[in-house]
Structure 1
């Protein structure tokens, strides 16, 4: 049976990236050694790191005055790296869910944090809008896509202060004007590669402004000076990032993947809105293209376990909703083909015929 991978992360990767990584594990570039055992100080690996950065820059049009880092520790480590490096007096945060709340909690260890807006009043089912951004902030922190609740910020915002964005789950899914941000970070395990590597895009002039001493491993400047090799980088994960970025470039880059992502989302949201058994959970104008969340419609709630088993029996993987929301979540990241979304839609229609008379 064909499997359709809707996992929220780690998630689906392009097949070609997986196949090339598998070959490199056995013999990297014909050198007689596995990718898993080569030194990160060799020219062979440095070429991998350089190509991954070059592709990333090209696909996102990252300007030269921004540095690209590939680090360990996951996006959650960046929750404290960011304020450690940037928060001198006060930062503003927008609370749009679990990961934003975790970032807020960490930042409070380093200075004053003002929560400028929150969607917690409606269980994070919308993106706050129209909030005031004070000009005296060291930076504004936003989470552009909220995997648990299925909401997404679809456009870059204008801000009088430096914007820091957690783009873990929608990086490379749409064009981004990098110049509107001071720092962008995220875990790679949604759209860029496997778990184990974290990307950071940072405008160099915002660094070195805080008065506190910085531990060596936390100071972005040390990683910049050493081309992401201040300590041993996650070699395998960066190799898969490189292969994933090569695939993305080969299909037409970010504009093409945005078109595909919209088509997938339109297909699934269209079925959710049409099918009397299901209802979406996020405000329509803020619906995520990456994480599509839905529940059983009123009157059909008791069918949720049955539908989950029904869908699993037809090859759907990872569609159970997060425990904080319940229901279902179909994560439609870049590498997910539209055929998988169509298979889920067909499954929903078949289930409808069984239960709606």
Structure 2
């Protein structure tokens, strides 16, 4: 059996060594005589694994002690609804900067719970750039400022956060920055202490679909928020160590294995270097094609994780995808909201995979003129 290079945006490729270990442990996990999906989440073995995973994630991301780490089900979209419930008082304004599809989704989830202010939006330009921070219209006394660190579909990424933190701190005092890091978490070093909340789904860089992470400054959990069921109260989730109800145990286990793999590979500093090289190879194949391929995102905010691109003639889309699949390159079809192609090159995508894609693109261009 030969594994393909999987460029899917999520669920995304996982490290082969992680999949092999999971396969080996499927029938007997840690010598308990059963699979991890069969044992109690209240049992000593699973509780120890959960604590180990949190400790590893803290080490990987250098998470300070004054931040809580929560693992939740329901995906980033669920957290997009839970965070305004927990962080904003009834009727309080929250600022949102919309730089793509998932920023727009965050607005939709928050709308029932907060008074929304769209501080800036890139929609008029087709989400090809991030609006100039100097032009953002922020609200005095906002509960928080929400951004999407990396837009998985449109391929737009915040590459310089200094200006964002500066504007969030002025003129009326610090407003916590809440950031959806679903598709760029652990891709490079991030100073967690500058954010109020970092959250996202795991199914791109941290593990499989079905489990999410929420890294939240502990003082923000003291906010009263809005009336909500206990299951939606992040304070209760923390008090029960992310086991307020039965968690997605298999997904948690795989997340833990993936984090261990990243640590063993050299951590976020090593992956930052790899990701920079991978992105450079792929963008060079696009930019050096003489217009045969094109990426429409402004160069300073091009994503390192998700690279959308278009062929000069849409009639070539189907042949490109078919030939790519035959060459062992899968998951390249663009999202229906944008069309074209998209290559997601997360941490688990090896450099050899990106080079294989670049070589294929160059060869396809020569053969199809």
TM-score (norm 2): 0.93
What displacement does 1:307 show? 1.5
Deviations 1:233-276 (A, max 9, x none): 11111111111111101111001001000100000000100013
Question: Match for 1:271 among 271, 285, 299?
Answer: 285
> What CA distance in whole angstroms lies between the structure 2 residues aligned with 1:211 and 1:345?
49
> What CA distance in whole angstroms lies between the structure 2 residues aligned with 1:110 and 1:348?
46
Residue pair 2:86, 2:225 contacting (<8 A) in 1 also? no
Secondary structure at the aligned position of 1:185 is classed as: strand
The corresponding residue for 1:212 is: 226
What displacement does 1:2 show? 4.6
Residue pair 2:61, 2:190 contacting (<8 A) in 1 also? yes
What displacement does 1:211 show? 5.4
Q: Which moved more, 1:207-216 or 1:41-50?
A: 207-216
1:55 aligns with 2:49: no
The corresponding residue for 1:27 is: 28
> What CA distance in whole angstroms lies between the structure 2 residues aligned with 1:149 and 1:137?
27
> What CA distance in whole angstroms lies between the structure 1 residues aligned with 2:76 and 2:314?
35
1:345 aligns with 2:344: no
What displacement does 1:292 show? 0.6
What displacement does 1:132 show? 4.2
1:321 aligns with 2:322: no
The corresponding residue for 1:77 is: 78
The corresponding residue for 1:194 is: 208
The corresponding residue for 2:309 is: 294
The corresponding residue for 2:157 is: 152
> What CA distance in whole angstroms lies between the structure 1 residues aligned with 2:35 and 2:333?
36
The corresponding residue for 2:138 is: 133
> What CA distance in whole angstroms lies between the structure 1 residues aligned with 2:301 and 2:344?
15
> What CA distance in whole angstroms lies between the structure 1 residues aligned with 2:28 and 2:5?
30
Secondary structure at the aligned position of 1:94 is classed as: strand
Alignment: residue pair count: 354
Residue pair 2:100, 2:156 contacting (<8 A) in 1 also? no
Deviations 1:15-56 (A, max 9, x none): 111111122221011111111100001110011101110011
Moved beyond 3 Å, runs of 4+: 132-135
Q: Which moved more, 1:301-310 or 1:169-178?
A: 301-310
What displacement does 1:108 show? 1.8
The corresponding residue for 1:109 is: 112
1:28-43 → structure 2 map (5 Å cutoff): 28-43=29-44
Deviations 1:194-243 (A, max 9, x none): 01111010111112323532210111100111111111111111111111
1:177 aligns with 2:191: yes
Secondary structure at the aligned position of 1:25 is classed as: coil
> What CA distance in whole angstroms lies between the structure 2 residues aligned with 1:84 and 1:97?
23
Secondary structure at the aligned position of 1:199 is classed as: strand
The corresponding residue for 1:229 is: 243
1:95 aligns with 2:98: yes
Unaligned runs of 5+ in 1: none
Residue pair 1:85, 1:208 contacting (<8 A) in 2 also? no
> What CA distance in whole angstroms lies between the structure 1 residues aligned with 2:212 and 2:41?
17
The corresponding residue for 2:172 is: none
